[in-house]
Amino acid sequence: MRVRPRPPHLRPRLTLTAATAALSLLALPTAASAASAPAAASPLQSQVAYAGTPATATTALTSTSTSASTHLTRPARPSPLDHQALERSLQAFHDAGMYGAYSAVRDGSDSWQGAAGVADIDTGRPVTPQMQHRIGSITKTFTAVAVLREVSKGRIDLDAPIDRYLPGLITGERGRAVTVRMLLNHTSGIADYSASIFATMDSLEGNRFHQFAPEELARLGIEAPPFGKPGQAHHYSNTNYIIAGLLLQKVTGQVPETYITAHVIRKAGLRHTYFPQSPSLSGPHAKMYEAANGHFDPPRDFSVYNMSWAGTAGALVSTMPDLNRFYRSLLGGELLPWAQLRQMKTTVPIPGSTTRYGLGLFQTTSPCGEFWGHSGLVVGAMTWSWSSPDGRRQISLGFNLTRYQKLDSNDRPLPNPIDAAMDAHVAQAICSTTASHTTERPLAPTRTAPLTSAPGQHSR
């Protein structure tokens, strides 16, 4: 694919949006967010919001699911892949202002990979289709699969209280009320630790090389004011998946990252997916630029970062082809027995949204059918990965500029041409058509990502 590098003096001045994102790992602080109380944000915002797993959902996909266990009949089957249209739409994503993007699309045996833009805005080094990328909260699907493998062996009961396996971690009645299932579908009500460790904008730099212990992250989330009562409603929280990692370690006797690597990553045949052992990525990758809602002007490179703060909630590195292979293996029954896959696809509603959440999986529907997957956002890197129920039609898309949108007075992202261009590419990949003019963005994550502007405050 032709790549058009942008010299620094021609770069668009992009302002980042603090995200209203569902899968966000990290939220940046704004004045409005500091004043707001914890509240779940809809993943279907009319504009894209990028944060921990931010959220630019595609307007091309409109979610209509209402059942608690979603197994919808697929509407009109999309047309075959149009490779030239995919190339044009990805180039248009770059032309709209995105620094660099890489995409992998499949329809059965037909596949396409492309890249557009630059991996380094100073040198003009181009991105390539198989670059390694921090995939953020997509890690949660891998962690959920690992837990469900132990469920299939009878070593973990989904509906058992977490206190059975990790006594004393969550004290009192809450420890007896929060179940393993509630952790995996984010209905535990446990708060997110992210607002504690990224309480100011300076903390983004301050934590760049800091080593966090999962026990510390879990404690911060558990001690923070809860998002809700156990089982009451879906409240996206990274703390849930840090605790899931501690559960894996207790039950298997292995470091959770080691277990996930051996029993999920290797079993799926992934060759370029791994938990980083240092702040630097080990293979070819793009720099990862964070604009932080205009706070970093020009956007700052965060490609070197200690990801211990995300752990089993969001530390994985992968490639777009690897992600397609992973979800195809998962949905095809190669990684879990069918009984556990059914549990994984049993969903709960996300307040204010028509998208639903299973055990480490989002579910949404589009004009051309039902799709499953996840999104992920870390500082400077965003990823989408969506698959049809049979794994036949897929897209995984990564890009290296985040929180580029301007915000209104309520910290909601304003329209940006990058968003429309991304929607158009995803629509072309999923449905072989251009983006529709719906007002919802069902493929977006569901959590507001702003960090609080003052230490000790928590916002969603």
For the chain, give the number of residues.
Answer: 460
When pLDDT is cut at 50, 70 and 90, the band that residue 78 belongs to is: confident
Higher model confidence: residue 444 or residue 372? 372
Which is nearest to 227 in space by CA: 167, 174, 180, 179? 174
Q: What is the chain's Cα-based Rg?
A: 20
What is the residue extent of each domain of the chain? Answer: 8-137+272-448
CA distance 429 to 90: 10
pLDDT-based confidence at residue 11 (cuts at 50, 70, 90): very low
Give the 3-state secondary structure of residue 207: coil
Q: Which two tokens stand for residue 77?
A: 């089957």
- The predicted structure's pLDDT at residue 299: 97
Q: Which residues are catalytic?
A: 137
Q: Please compute the mean of the pLDDT values over residues 365-387 and round it to a whole number.
A: 95
Q: With bands split at pLDDT 50, 70 and 90, how would you rate the model's confidence at 12?
A: very low
Check if CATH label 3.40.30.10 holds for domain 8-137+272-448: no
Task: Enter the pTM of the model.
Answer: 0.85
Task: Report the alpha-carbon distance of residue 326 to residue 265 in Å, rounded.
Answer: 8
Cα(260)–Cα(240) distance, integer angstroms: 17
Q: What percent of the chain has pLDDT over 70?
A: 78
Enumerate long-range contacts of 121-125, CB under 8 Å, 24 or more apart: 121/6, 121/8, 121/11, 121/287, 121/289, 121/298, 122/8, 124/5, 124/6, 124/7, 125/5
State how far the Cα of 33 lies from the Cα of 50, in Å rounded to an integer: 14
Nearest residue to 323 via CA among 106, 84, 15:
106
Q: What is the pLDDT of residue 59?
A: 36
Following DSSP, what letter does each residue of 257-325 receive, concatenated? HHHHIIIIITTTT-SS-B--SSSS-SSSB---EE-GGGTSSS-EE--S--GGGTHHHH--EE-HHHHHH
Crossing angle (nearest 10°) for helices 83-95 and 417-431: 170
Query: Token digits for 349?
Result: 């509603």
